[in-house]
Structure 1
Amino acid sequence: MPALMVAWRWFERSIDFIAEVMGVIGWLLLLYCMVLGVTDVFLRYVMNAASMWISTTIQAAMVLLACVGGIYALKHDTFVRLDVFYAALSRRTQAVLDLATSGLTLLFLGALIWKGWDAAMLSVKLDQHTPTAIAIPIYPIKIFIPVTAAIVLLLVIKQLGNDVLVITGKRHADTQR
């Protein structure tokens, strides 16, 4: 097996591992939101003692959940899409269409990483915190957004590489994405 293919398989396994770790993080965030959401409702309506930090941390956790959930969904090809025509096409034709539309994806991710990183660094510089009774730092969440966008970019590159392999016949069309 050529060294390039060995490196490609290592890259694929590494990205898949990262996506699976993000899935576990997403599961933990979801559990956090559920448990603390119920706790907040209990404290507010049963104990008549509203929490000053739970709802703010749940909002932050939901932002993080969207980031890691997107990575996990992309890895497992579970995004909702209109498959009326696409699903009926051969894997090779799907790969060609994926390549044809990949420019928009790369453009979007590039802008998200670039502008997201600028916003994160500004947040660090300004030492941003929530304007609530208990000040919670915002900058870790803002840093996480471009970092996860970079991971999505790596997943997209992996899928594009696999599409090229399908188109060139170096990978069977029935092989998983």
Structure 2
Amino acid sequence: MPKPIRAFVRVVDAINRVVGRFAMYLLFVLAAILLYSTLSRVIIGTPVNWSLEMSQFVLSAYYLLGGAYTMQNDGHVRMDLFYSKLTPQKRAVTDAFTILFVLFYLGVLLMGGLSSTAYSIEYGQKNYTSWAPPLWPIKVIMTLGIFLMLLQAISSFFKDVAMARGKPIA
């Protein structure tokens, strides 16, 4: 593979490794929010109206920002009827072909995410609840997560093509 492609793969993998490891710690934030909500309701007797939505936002950020890291580590669920019986090079050919569908899907998803985020920022969109938080922060995180997943899918495509050619990118 040419040097720019190898550099792209290294940079994307490094960025997604850092973002994915950061996303892991969001589970502790989620646990703290839910614990605070429970303690507030049980001990003080006053429910917190923002805890449910905030926990949903944190969980969404967790899986959206961690998706690319999971892809990088082959952690996504795979339907494995014949795949495990293939040689590494044939697996790479299969993966390089199927990732094209993922790239198309993520491209369409990114366009929708950008449009939705721009709308949310432009019109100050808020959630229709008693807390009424602005939606643009979670939409920015959503779009960033989709973008990182798209970059990781491209990186995976390059790694699969290199493996199929018998010259894996380390």
Partner of 1:72: 69
The Cα shift of 1:69 comes to 2.0
Corresponding residue number in structure 2 for 1:120: 117
Which residue in the other structure is 2:55 paired with? 58
The worse-fitting range, judged by mean Cα deviation, of 140-149 and 60-69 is 140-149
Partner Cα separation in structure 2 for residue 77 and residue 103 of structure 1: 17
Aligned pairs for 1:29-68 (under 5 A) are 29-68=26-65
TM-score (norm 2): 0.91
Structure 1 residue 167 and structure 2 residue 167: aligned? Answer: no
Give the 3-state SS of the residue equivalent to 1:137 in structure 2.
coil
For 1:16, what is the secondary structure of its paired residue? Answer: helix
Could you tell me which runs of 5 or more consecutive residues in structure 2 were left unpaired when the two chains were aligned: none
Aligned length: 170
SS at match of 1:106: helix
Q: For the residues of structure 2 that align with 1:164 and 1:156, how far apart are their CA atoms?
A: 12
Q: Does 1:151 align with 2:142?
A: no
CA distance in 2, matches of 1:159, 1:103: 10
Point out which structure has higher relative CO (alpha carbons under 8 A, 6+ apart): 2
Q: Which residue of 1 aligns with 2:7?
A: 10
The answer to which of 104-113 and 123-132 deviates more is 123-132
Q: What CA deviation, in whole Å up to 9, does each residue of 1:8-42 have, x standing for no partner?
A: 33222211221122223212211110111011111
TM superposition shift of 1:170: 2.3
Within 5 A, what are the aligned runs for 1:103-114? 103-114=100-111
Offset, 1:74: 0.6
- Measure, in 2, the Cα distance between the counterparts of 1:71 and 1:103: 16
Tell me how far 1:117 sits from its aligned partner. 0.8
CA distance in 2, matches of 1:21, 1:170: 26
Q: Could you tell me the TM-score, scaled by structure 1's length? A: 0.87
**Counterpart residue type for residue 38 of structure 1:** L
Runs ≥4 residues deviating over 4 A? none
Question: Corresponding residue for 1:21?
Answer: 18
Give the counterpart letter for 2:126 in structure 1: H
Identity %: 27
